[in-house]
Amino acid sequence: MSDTTGSDILVIGGGVIGLMTARELSAAGAAVTLVEMGDTGQQASWAGGGILSPLYPWRFAGPVTALARWSQQVYPTLCTELFETTGIDPEYSTSGLLILDPEEHADALAWAAAEQVQIDTLTQAQITEKEPGLQTDVREALWLGEIGQIRNPRLTKALRTAIEPKVAIREQEEVLELRVTDGRVQGVRTRAGDIDADRVVVCTGAWTAELLAKLGRKPDIRPVRGQMILFYAKPGQIRHLTLYRERYVIPRRDGRVLIGSTLEDAGFDKRTTAEAKEELYRIATAMFPLLKRTPIEDHWAGLRPGSPSGIPYIGPYPGAEGLYVNAGHFRNGLVTGPASARLLADLLLGRDAILPPSAYALEAMRA
């Protein structure tokens, strides 16, 4: 069976990257089909925390910072637009990020000066004033007051609803194979049959290497499990994003508080573990003793698309004309999503690119 829907472009994967890529391409006038093996927005893009900054941003390579900074500029307007067109509020808030690790101060302040980012140093009294429920011995903390967050499950729902009138969305349809003949992509084979397309964008997150391996060379993307727990506190009891020793606390508007996250090499096993739950609970309640009086509401795991240095692969797949990849965003797919989608669309449509694309190119793929 062959299905020629008249689409110019086929996007595979309905996470934040696939949804934003489909949105960009469709906004440029292309007829787009999006194929998703489950339901859209249910994998890493659902499981993530929604912090709109790389954690300890000074540790990241320039190409990650560039994507993050471009996206940070557009997020407030993007969320307003999505809310207005869909009625679904992605809950963008400038929560500000408090970082408690003293050993990070020198690197953080040097980076802030070079990048012209506002980072303040807070005294103990200022920390208590900002976050009265926080228990900490640190004498000074870093304060990144401009850092925002979104509620990612709502963001992906809003994105899906926004593109639905224009993009053909096919859920519960796994792509089994990319069809490439004579160095040109012809479309894909799915569980339901063939879909023809002369331009295909692979946005399959942690599953990307598996799909591309059949073509011979694959990008270095592997699943990295992350677990989170969720408390239901009262709104305002915890006010800001707080980061300490690689673990963070995220307060949502309605009082829900997320604590994350683990970094685990567990293949495609998405099960949660009692050890991670216990560890996250211990850290959360040590930082915020008020959480001891709050039951854990949920505990989940997601598979990040891990890539070396966290730099995503964005661009054409060498050796298969018409085939593109936008994947491997590791810990930063939510914050870097808008720029990644725009860059991919620029490259595919032959427009001037928002960022120099060479740092994200797939040439470095291994066999």
By CB under 6 A, name the binding residues for ligand FAD: 12-18, 35-38, 42-45, 47-51, 174-175, 203-207, 211, 226, 228, 260-261, 302, 304-305, 327, 329-335
Rounded to a whole number of angstroms, the minimum distance from the CB of residue 119 to ligand FAD is 19
Which residues does residue 80 pair with via DSSP β-bridges, in sequence order? none
Which residue type does 156 have? T
- Whole-number Å distance between alpha carbons of 122 and 253: 24
Edge-to-edge strands, sheet with 247-251: 120-123, 140-144, 97-99, 241-244, 247-251, 256-260, 222-232, 296-306
Q: Which is nearer to ligand FAD, 86 or 332 (CB)?
A: 332
Q: Which is nearer to ligand FAD, 30 or 327 (CB)?
A: 327
Q: Which is nearer to ligand FAD, 132 or 216 (CB)?
A: 216
Rounded to a whole number of angstroms, the minimum distance from the CB of residue 16 to ligand FAD is 5
Q: Which is nearer to ligand FAD, 15 or 316 (CB)?
A: 15
What letter would DSSP give residue 3? E
Cα→Cα distances 283→59, 170, 254, 292, Å:
23, 41, 22, 11
Rounded to a whole number of angstroms, the minimum distance from the CB of residue 227 to ligand FAD is 7
In sequence order, what E strands does 24-131 have? 32-35, 97-99, 120-123
Rounded to a whole number of angstroms, the minimum distance from the CB of residue 15 to ligand FAD is 2
Cβ density class 213-227: b for 16+ within 10 Å, e for less = eebebbbebbbbbbb
Rounded to a whole number of angstroms, the minimum distance from the CB of residue 255 to ligand FAD is 19
Q: Which is nearer to ligand FAD, 18 or 315 (CB)?
A: 18
Rounded to a whole number of angstroms, the minimum distance from the CB of residue 18 to ligand FAD is 5
Non-local CB neighbours of 285 within 8 Å, separated by 6+ positions: 291, 292
Q: Which is nearer to ligand FAD, 128 or 239 (CB)?
A: 239
Contact 305, 208 (CB under 8 A): yes
